[in-house]
Structures are given as structure tokens and as C-alpha cells.
Amino acid sequence: MLPDLAGLRGGAAILPELVLTGTVFAVLVLDLALRRSARRGRVLLLVTCLGLAAAATAIAGVSAGAQPLFYGMLVADGFALFVKGVVIAAAVVGAILAALSPEIRRDQLGEYLILLVCLTLGMCLLAGARNLLMLYLALELVSLPSYILAGFRHGDRRSSEAALKYVVFGAAASGLMLFGFSLLYGLAGTLDLPGIGAAVVARGLQGGLDAQLLVVVAVLLSLAGFAYKVAAVPFHMWCPDVYEGAPTPFVAFLSVAPKAAGFAALLRFFLSGFGAPLGFPAPGEFPWPFVLGVLAMATMTVGNLAAITQDNVKRLLAYSSIAHAGYLLMAVAVGSPLAIRGVLLYLPIYLLMNMGAFLVVMAVHDATGSETVDGFRGLGARAPYLAVVMAVFLFSLTGIPPLAGFIGKFFLFAAALQTKSMFFYAVAVVGVVNSVISLYYYARIVRACFLEKPADAQAPVRVGSPAAALLGALAVPTLVLGIWWGPLLGVVEKALLLPR
């Protein structure tokens, strides 16, 4: 007897993923074929970027729809396609950064790029996963290459330590999440998120603590995996060590793309699996907004307070990225249409400013060998262009108008205030106080750039023209989107227009 094959239709919707898989093989074969060629690095980078561009084009060609694909494993709705676009853009920037950085050895660039594309493939699947098995596999496809790339500076003790810490933390978080998933499967008898959602809602209506207890335990355990991926409290401890030890071009990518995909999966897990959590739970509903809101407050506070005392800029940006995960978690907790729009709007803006800041850190490190705040002293005189764009990125990360970061934060906070609940007012106040704290440590770097004299010789810091062009490509949209965000908002709204 033949099994039912109807679910295999809709293969065209995974064309972006197929293109990415093809890119993996193309780079793999070319890496071997061009072993003796002097132009190997450039060709591999070109092929990778072309493959990613082709995948992005394929995304534009996919007709978004809410119908499940491959027996309910995936869905290619506007939400997923938008997130895929963001992670592919981050992968293009990440590939170019790797090619520019001396931290990635030329003869290993091919391996780096292959793993980067595998990771991107994992994130694309994660953005569209609507089945727990698919979600877990996609998460592992993101995690395992990340471990290898974090330890890519072989022979460097800090890099190896970063990779090992990342693996141990990742394994623990994966284990907790799998345990949670298995409990959910036991409760619902299905791995499909909507099916689980229906079972959970039915159970919530039964009322009583006993009926809800196991659901709450299972979801909290599942949350561990997501919190680890987006670096939220209490699974943020790996973040500063990994950011400090891993190669900078990978950190720039890691701080943006897996976070974006992780938030996409988290949103789908809660919204498609558990019905929209909006406002405070009525009797018989589960306290997800409260749990996520408390996590959001803890995440932003821990991130910002710990960032104050950091001297290493990569560690500082690690804590800053934890804080940003907190702001995004606040919107996930709200879960209203405005909040989802805010999250989607924030992701590309965060990509621009955070990858830009890491690119400046990379340029300064390559020129001076320093990764500390002191290394930025007098940068305004030694490399005015670098100093100015760094100021743009950092003030945008703070959320100061008229920069793009302000618009991103504005929508997140507006979503929290729109709920008109005392709890989310409190979360928003904590968020605003945290933004003020963050101004202090971001401004410390800017102050070092412009107001402090360099301690040692005033050698000018040189930036290569590709790096300068890439910095410009990240800084200009950061400035423009702060004033003219209409087009981006239009894309986001179009992505969310279709029913999820």
C-alpha cells in the first residue's frame, strides 16, 4: 500500500531552502576544486553571496500562504518569509565580514562559509517551523554550526573556551527543551503546534490548578531552548564569554541572525500554539504574558546593569544584546498585532546597528590589536569616519531620535502601553529606565572616541575601502530609517496582512 503523498505538494514554497542547500554543495565542491588557486577566497565569497542573493530572490517569488506544507512541518506565511529575508541579509553581511577579517584564515574561509550557509538554512527552517520535531531539528541546525564557528580560531585558548562553554550550555538548554516538548506531546498526542494549542486551550477551560500545572511546567521547560537562543535570562550566561572569545565576524552574525530566528520561533510557539496572549489572564487562561513579562524585565535589567562595568567592547556589546533581547521579549509578552509588527520592524533595524557596531570593533581591533574601551580613545582624530559611524550605531542602539533604533523601540513600547494593563505599564517603565542606563555605557565609548586623548602613539587607524563601503551601507539606512520608516513599515504590514 502506498502512503498518502498529498502532503508533498507545495515544494515550490521551500525554494529558498533548496537554493541554500545547493549553495552549500557548490561552495563545498569549489573549495576542493580551487585548492591551489590564489583567487580561491574571492571566488568562494562571490559564490556564497550569489547563492544567498538567489535565495533572497526566491523568497520574493514565494507566494505567501498560511497553508501547512510537508504534512504540517512548515508554513511559508508572510511572517516567516520576512524573517528569512532578515537572516539571509545578515548572512550576506556575515560572509563579507569573514572575508575581510584576518581572524578567519584564508585557507579555512571555505569551511567557514559552508557552515555559515548551513546555519542560515537552519534559521530559515526555524522561521517557518510549525511542528515541534521540525522546530527542534532547525534549532540544532542553527546550534551545531554555531558551536564550530565560535571555536573557529584554532589554537586560540579563548576561542576554544568560548566554543566549549557554548556547547555545554547549549546541550543543557536543548535537553530541558526536549523534556518540555515530550511532556507537550504526552498532553496533546500531536507534535503540530496548532494541535497542541487546541489541546492546551481545552485544558485551560477545565480550570483548576492540577489541570494547568503540567502545561505550565512543560512550557517553562520548552522556554529554556528559546531563551538560550535569544540569550534571555536565565540562559544568558554563555553570551559574554562566547562573544569575547569567538571570532568577531562570527559574533556580529551571532548577535543578530539566530536571535531573529529564535524570536520568530518563540512568537510562533506562543501565538500559533497557544492562542494570542493579550493582557492579563482571565480565569482559566495561562499566565504566559506575566511569565514572559517578568523574563523581559529581568533580561533587560541584567543586561544593562552588567554592561556598565565592562571594559572589553565585545563583552559590553554582548550584555547590550542581552538587553535588546529583553526589549523584544516585552513585545512577545504583549503578543498583540502591534507588538508583532514592532518585533518584525525591530529585527532589520537591529541588524543594521548591531552588525555595524561590531564591524567598527573589528576594524579597530585589526588596526590597533585592542578590544577595550581604551582602544577607542582618540578615534575621532585617528579615524574620523569610523568614530562618526560608531557614534551613529551606538546612539541608534540607545534609541535616540532621529535614528532608526528610536523607531524600533518606539513600536515595542507603544505595543506595551496599548494594552492598558498595569503590569505592562510597569514593564514599559522598567524598559525606559533601562534605556537611560544603556545611554551611559554606549556614551562611554563615544566619549572615548571624541573627548579622550589616545594613551599611546597617535597612529591613524586605516580602514580598507570594502570595510568602509560596508560601514556606509549599514550606517546610511540607520540614519534614513529614523526619519523615513514608511517603506519598511509597509513591507512589515504586507508580511502580516495574510492570516497566520
Minimum gap (Å) between residue 363 Cβ and another protein:
15
Query: Which helix (H) or strand (E) is 41 found in, with range?
Result: helix 40-61
Minimum gap (Å) between residue 40 Cβ and another protein:
7
Q: E-strand spans in 63-163?
A: 68-69, 74-75
Q: 44 with 110: CB under 8 angstroms?
A: yes
Contact between 217 and another protein by CB under 8 A: the answer reads yes
Contact between 219 and another protein by CB under 8 A: the answer reads no
Residues 483 and 407: their CA atoms lie apart, in Å, by 9
Residues 205 and 213: their CA atoms lie apart, in Å, by 13
Residues 6+ apart with CB under 8 A from 196: 132, 184, 187, 188, 190, 273
Residues 493 and 116: their CA atoms lie apart, in Å, by 29
Q: Which is nearer to another protein, 142 or 230 (CB)?
A: 142
Residues 134 and 192: their CA atoms lie apart, in Å, by 10
DSSP 68: E
Q: 131 with 191: CB under 8 angstroms?
A: yes
Considering only residues 126-155, where is the footprint of another protein by CB under 8 A?
133-134, 137-138, 140-141, 144-145, 147-148, 151-155
Residues 6+ apart with CB under 8 A from 38: none
What is the maximal distance between C-alpha atoms in the chain? 79
Contact between 32 and another protein by CB under 8 A: the answer reads no
Minimum gap (Å) between residue 27 Cβ and another protein:
11
Q: Which is nearer to another protein, 18 or 489 (CB)?
A: 18
Task: Please select the residue that binds another protein; options are 24, 219, 261, 300, rule is CB under 8 A.
Answer: 24
- Dihedral sign for Cα atoms in the order 460, 466, 471, 473: positive
Minimum gap (Å) between residue 224 Cβ and another protein:
12
Q: 404 with 354: CB under 8 angstroms?
A: no
Pick the stretch among 3-11, 262-270, 291-299, 481-489 that binds another protein (CB under 8 A). 3-11
Minimum gap (Å) between residue 247 Cβ and another protein:
8
Locus of grid cell 528569512 = 84
Backbone φ and ψ for 451, nearest 5 degrees, come out as: -110, -10
Pick the stretch among 30-38, 349-357, 450-458, 491-499 that binds another protein (CB under 8 A). 30-38
Task: Please select the residue that binds another protein; options are 214, 291, 294, 388, rule is CB under 8 A.
Answer: 214
Pick the stretch among 20-28, 277-285, 338-346, 393-401 that binds another protein (CB under 8 A). 20-28
Contact between 187 and another protein by CB under 8 A: the answer reads yes
Q: Which is nearer to another protein, 200 or 331 (CB)?
A: 200
Q: Which is nearer to another protein, 71 or 425 (CB)?
A: 71
Minimum gap (Å) between residue 153 Cβ and another protein:
6
DSSP 3: P
Q: Which is nearer to another protein, 93 or 135 (CB)?
A: 135
Residues 339 and 416: their CA atoms lie apart, in Å, by 8
Cell of 315: 563583552
Contact between 210 and another protein by CB under 8 A: the answer reads yes
Minimum gap (Å) between residue 155 Cβ and another protein:
3
Minimum gap (Å) between residue 344 Cβ and another protein:
25
Considering only residues 95-124, where is the footprint of another protein by CB under 8 A?
102-103, 105-108, 111, 114-115, 118-119, 121-122
According to DSSP H, which parts of 419-464 are helical?
422-450
Task: Please select the residue that binds another protein; options are 71, 425, 440, 484, rule is CB under 8 A.
Answer: 71
Locus of grid cell 532578515 = 86
Cell of 344: 518584525
Specify the pairing of strand 74-75 against strand 68-69: antiparallel
CA of residue 41 relative to chain centroid, distance? 27
Q: 66 with 128: CB under 8 angstroms?
A: no
Locus of grid cell 584554532 = 154
Contact between 385 and another protein by CB under 8 A: the answer reads no
Minimum gap (Å) between residue 94 Cβ and another protein:
16
Minimum gap (Å) between residue 405 Cβ and another protein:
31
Q: Which is nearer to another protein, 209 or 497 (CB)?
A: 209
Q: Which is nearer to another protein, 93 or 215 (CB)?
A: 215
Catalog residues that contact another protein under the rule CB under 8 A: 3-5, 7-8, 14, 21, 24, 28, 35-36, 38, 40, 70-71, 73-74, 102-103, 105-108, 111, 114-115, 118-119, 121-122, 125, 133-134, 137-138, 140-141, 144-145, 147-148, 151-156, 183, 186-187, 210, 213-214, 217
